[in-house]
Structure 1
Amino acid sequence: MSRLDDLIQEYCPDGVPFVKIKDYFTRLKGTPITARKMKEIASEDGEIKIFAGGKTIIDAHEADIPKANITTVPAVLVQSRGVIDFVYYDKPFTFKNEMWAYTHEDITTVKYLYYVLSNDVQYFREKASGMGSLPQISTPVTEEYKVPLPALPVQREIVRILDEFTLLSAELAAELAARKKQYEYYRDTLLNNNAEIPKIKLGEFAVISRGGNFQKKDFVDNGLPCIHYGQIYTHYGTYADTTLTTINEEAYSKSKKAKKNDIVMAVTSENIEDVCKSVAWLGDKDIAVSGHTAIISHQQNAKYLSYYFSSNAFFKQKKKLAHGTKVIEVTPNTLANIEVPLPSLEVQNRLVEVLDNFDSICSDLNIGLPAEIEARQKQYEFYRDQLLTFAENGNTILTNNEQRRNLIKLLQYVLGYANVSLSDIAEYQKERIDASLLDASTYVGVDNLLQNKAGIKKSEYVPTEGRLINYHKGDVLIGNIRPYLRKIWLAKNDGGTNGDVLDITIKNNQIVTSKFLYYVLSSESFFDYDMQYAKGAKMPRGDKKAVMNYTFTIPTIERQKEIVAILDKFDDLCNDLSAGIPAEIEANQKRYEYYRDQLLTFKELK
């Protein structure tokens, strides 16, 4: 982040201007096209992508698109209806004319706008609430929106950082998608490929009724439980026993209810994939259910039915029942003719047990890739929020030391390591001690630090007056005169030292251990770096500021302890003269230095 901080200090130290989108970006119009026409012209090898509402996207040939208004420059698409969102696209595309897009002559600024709008997407979704059966925003909502606009070099660095996080998340998401495909294969096989299981029409073993009566305006804190149909797409999985929201008592009393074991199914959506998405209600208390839903009451295993309603076999059946263009609907009473494979409850229970395990692998936020994606997403959002937060007059980002340390810990958790500068995790000791409290065993000067990382000897000189630097057990002391002598010691006690010795103390032992830091600063790469910035010819002195800028990699605390344990063993072998003849000692020393350098060298994740 130091490069970005430097750019901000150079180009906008006092803040950045905020500009309205309409005053800086060009608004683009879409193509007048219906959902029916999109279905007709869809082609897998089409060179033009067409965006409609929600997840509806097709490829088509330009010649087949009537009154085509093709966007050929990178742009940010405003998905203004249904689930409000933003899409960045840099290849030829068009979109339904109920939406719009923005572009600019500088490609970086376009991508920067996308990140700004995505960062504040909740603002736009709140602006859209309450506008008809599907949320919608109008052009003034985005036209009047003010965007913080730093200098172009700052924008480039922000976009570069956020692009890297987006790529990492996309790679993990792709692996998770592959797992989900495998899961869906097993799920569909378990649910449908047994000729001995009878297929029964839903209406023959279940009662199907409509939900209805409460609206989003009835939401309150600490009210009575409810499920709104839109939440089934965005929040709920296969089953739930708690609700996201609650409503007031009056609205609850007037609403249709789902009881424990009922299925709540959303029967209205913008696309065929989401319509009929279901959640099994497993909570003990009856819940209010909004309109655009079906409530399915039965005596079967609710999770089994909910799993079936997410299968490909059900998808094929619901597709025949769906109707509408802009809004896709399935009339609840037509669901009665859906055929469901219905084994005994004992078999349903066993199937659910197996499917729950598969579902956990793909969806449980506490294990596997989803946990890593979740953590990386939080990391990305943290960076995004920080990078896109500007004050019109004031400081910029990541100036808080505690925030920086939290970020390092987050990187260690997500990636397994963090690339840091020494100043991120350590500082020069500021405490002082009176010279009269020191003796030959507690005073450390350059003269009693031994060359070639051999530690210290008793001091032949101890000052008798003045206040000296007060080192503590666990501090790393480095001789700052003639760094090529490689004088370094990990303090085993408290004491005092002078200004010719660098006393480095760690800031937080939850991020790095003192022994690991000692091994890092004992490496040849550090002393080479120290000499590179040393000043003076006959008696060079290390540059204290440059030392704090030294960069290296710190793994998790657990991994640090493992590395230290290994290096300690080599250290013992190399220093214990009783371990063998001098040649063996020399061989061990070389092995030690080889393994130390290998263990402390990490390949950066691209």
Structure 2
Amino acid sequence: MSKFDDLLLEQCPHGVPFKPLGDVGEFIRGNGLQKSDLTDAGHPAIHYGQIHTFYGTWADRTKSFTDPLKAVRLRRAKTGDLVIATTSEDDDAVAKATAWLGDEEAAVSGDAYIYRHRLDPRYVAYFFQTEQFHSQKRRGITGTKVRRISGDALAKVRIPVPPLSVQHEIVKMLDAFAELEAELEAELEARRRQYSHYRDTLLTFSDAGVPRIPLGELATIVRGASPRPIQAFLTSAENGLPWIKIGDVPAGDKFITKTAQYVTSEGAQKSRRVRPGDFVMSNSMSFGRPYISKIEGCIHDGWLSISDFADSFVPDFLYHLLRSKSVQSELARRASNGTVQNLNADIVKAVAVPVPPLAEQERIVEILDKFEALVNSLTDGLPAELQARRQQYEYYRDKLLTFEEVEA
């Protein structure tokens, strides 16, 4: 960063002025664009919800479009404007922004602001990602369940305003970090597809010598149970039993190792107990996702438990088998009769699964565990590298956008 340090010393020897966003630009509220107005062709359009789910730091093409005749009546972002989502249920996501760099103007929905300014657009978009910005914007967030921020509140947020040459250099360095991260994400996604392919290939047994047997004949499968009202049975006492919930399992993890809450012994008697080595499977949220419990605990009626399978399955083989495309597709097919997909014990019991010899199961597990560590582990493989790269990016982003303020 010596080149950048030299530039900073040359351009800003006494510090950098900090100015309210309202002094270097204006906030224009979007209007009138509904989800029902979005089309696959027409005039470029950005709905505020897409800023949360689709757009990154900047964009030069829109995901959606709208009728050109309607777009004429809407407020539109020009090249270089920021488009800011002003509502969310999560404070961190309030005021998520993307810089619009497309050649055409883009119509913008309500619950979003257009920020028209005199700065480098990507510099401003990167600033909106910093803790420096978040710590200021939190003061202006209002609302209860739906959290929102106004243009007036955003206008009060102070941004460091170095010369444009410095802004451009910061953007250049942060874009390089973002490109490296995108390359890792693309490689990780490719490896995950490769892993899924090999898993499904290894778990497809065309040999007539491998029997297919309903899972209910090979294991005990029962639904969890909830003592009600649950709040009356929660405890912080040392003799409480872990109360297992979906949120206790880290995203993409395989094992349940701890819980945030515990139930009393009376509550445990009204619930369903699982023991180390038992499987639990979600029957609604994260539909059909299996986990292996490493602890003794209780499960509510949003879970199924699978146990007593040791004579037929190596545990890790059963885990890979339950996650395979063939089993997941069969679960979804059997559970799709209602308006909302829900599993029950009878559905899972009825799914016929291959039962190869235990030695063959061990061989398959050895192969798949290596693949899974590569694509899912946060301590090894690509996910760990990607996490480290993101931390490095966030560190340098905040460092590059932190300046000594020039004395008035």
TM interval, short-chain normalised: 0.5 to 0.7
Equivalent in 284, 288, 292 of residue 267 of structure 1: 284
Amino acid aligned to 1:246:
A
What secondary structure, in the 3-state scheme, does the structure 1 residue paired with 2:354 have? coil
Q: Which residue of 1 aligns with 2:173?
A: 161
Task: Find out whether 1:114 has 2:125 as its counterpart.
Answer: yes
Q: Report the identity percentage.
A: 21
Task: Indicate if the aligned counterparts of 2:214 and 2:352 stay in contact, CA closer than 8 A.
Answer: yes
Which 5+ residue runs of structure 1 have no aligned equivalent? 269-274, 395-606
Q: Which residue of 2 aligns with 1:246?
A: 260
Amino acid aligned to 1:297:
I
Task: Indicate if the aligned counterparts of 2:19 and 2:160 stay in contact, CA closer than 8 A.
Answer: yes
Q: Which residue of 2 aligns with 1:207?
A: 222
Q: Deviations over 1:248-305 (max 9, x none)?
A: 777996896773323253834xxxxxx427351332232677x9x4344344466555
Amino acid aligned to 2:27:
T
Equivalent in 33, 36, 45 of residue 35 of structure 2: 33
Instruction: Calculate the aligned-residue CA RMSD, in Å.
Output: 5.2
Q: Which residue of 1 aligns with 2:59?
A: none
Task: Indicate if the aligned counterparts of 2:241 and 2:297 stay in contact, CA closer than 8 A.
Answer: no
What secondary structure, in the 3-state scheme, does the structure 2 residue paired with 1:173 have? helix
Q: Which residue of 2 aligns with 1:138?
A: 148
What secondary structure, in the 3-state scheme, does the structure 2 residue paired with 1:104 have? strand
Task: Indicate if the aligned counterparts of 2:88 and 2:148 stay in contact, CA closer than 8 A.
Answer: no
Shift of 1:384: 1.5
Task: Indicate if the aligned counterparts of 1:72 and 1:93 stay in contact, CA closer than 8 A.
Answer: yes
CA distance in 1, matches of 2:23, 2:341: 40
Task: Find out whether 1:378 has 2:395 as its counterpart.
Answer: no
Equivalent in 170, 187, 204 of residue 182 of structure 2: 170
CA distance in 2, matches of 1:225, 1:276: 22
Q: Deviations over 1:24-79 (max 9, x none)?
A: 45244363225xx87xx568x99767674664799445349988956554534438
Distance 1:338 1:224, change over 3 A: closer
CA distance in 2, matches of 1:101, 1:160: 26
CA distance in 1, matches of 2:223, 2:8: 60
Task: Indicate if the aligned counterparts of 2:290 and 2:319 stay in contact, CA closer than 8 A.
Answer: yes
CA distance in 2, matches of 1:88, 1:219: 45
Task: Find out whether 1:181 has 2:188 as its counterpart.
Answer: no
Task: Indicate if the aligned counterparts of 2:77 and 2:114 stay in contact, CA closer than 8 A.
Answer: no
Instruction: Give the TM-score, by structure 2 length.
Output: 0.65
Shift of 1:189: 2.3
Distance 1:47 1:209, change over 3 A: farther
Distance 1:138 1:362, change over 3 A: same
Q: Which has the higher contact order (CA 8 A, sep 6+)?
A: 2
Q: Which residue of 2 aligns with 1:369?
A: 382
CA distance in 2, matches of 1:172, 1:280: 27
Task: Indicate if the aligned counterparts of 2:97 and 2:128 stay in contact, CA closer than 8 A.
Answer: no
Task: Find out whether 1:297 has 2:310 as its counterpart.
Answer: no
CA distance in 1, matches of 2:365, 2:45: 43
CA distance in 1, matches of 2:338, 2:140: 29
CA distance in 2, matches of 1:183, 1:169: 21
Q: Which residue of 2 aligns with 1:5?
A: 5
Instruction: Give the TM-score, by structure 1 length.
Output: 0.47
CA distance in 2, matches of 1:252, 1:138: 43
Distance 1:283 1:64, change over 3 A: farther
Task: Indicate if the aligned counterparts of 1:294 and 1:332 stay in contact, CA closer than 8 A.
Answer: no
Distance 1:206 1:176, change over 3 A: same
Shift of 1:130: 11
Which 5+ residue runs of structure 2 have no aligned equivalent? 56-61
Shift of 1:356: 1.3
